[in-house]
Structure 1
Amino acid sequence: MKVSYQVVASVLVAAGLAGGLVALPRKAAAQNAPQGATTAQIPTGRQGRGGYPLPPLPADFETYQHKVRVSVVARGLDRPWSLMMMPNDDMLISMRFSNQIRLIHDGVLDPKPVSGLPEVRRLFDIVTHPKFAENKWVYFDYLKPGTEARSPLALARAVYENGQLKNVQELYVSDPVTQGASRMAFAPDGTIYITVSGAGGRIPNGPDPRKLDTVYGKVIRLREDGSIPPDNPFVGKAGARPEIFSLGHRDHFGLAPHPQTGQMFHVEMGPYGGDKINILKAGGDYGWPDYSYGRQNDSSPLPDPHNVPGIEQALLVWLPGITPSGLLFYTGDKFPAWKGNLMVGSVVTGRVNGSSGVERVVFNNKMWETRREMFLTELKQRIRDVRQGRDGLIYLLTEEVDGAVLKLEPAD
Structure 2
Amino acid sequence: MRLKSVLSCLLCLWINNAAAESYLIKNARLYTAAGTDSSADVLLVDGRIKTIGNNINVDEKITTIAANGAVLTPALFNSYTHLGVSEIDAIASTVDTYSQNSQLTAALKIADAFNPSSVMIPHNRSNGLHYALVVPESAAGLFAGQATLVKLASQAYVVDDSVAVVVQLGEQGQALAGGSRAAAMALLRQALDEAQHYASNQAAANKGQRWQYSNSYADLAALQAVVKGRKPLLVKVSRAADIQQVLVLAKQYQLNIILAGAQEGWKVAEAIAAAKVPVIMDPIENLPLAYETLAARLDNAQLLQQAGVTLLFTGMSWHNTHNAYLVRQSAGNAVANGLTKASAMAAITANPAAVFGLNKQGDIKEGYAADLVLWNGDPLEVMSYPRMVFVDGKPVSQHSRQQQLRDRYYSRAQRAKP
Q: TM-score, normalised by structure 1?
A: 0.31
Choose between structure 1 and 2: higher helix proportion. 2
Structure label with greater radius of gyration:
2
Q: TM-score, normalised by structure 2?
A: 0.30
Choose between structure 1 and 2: higher strand proportion. 1
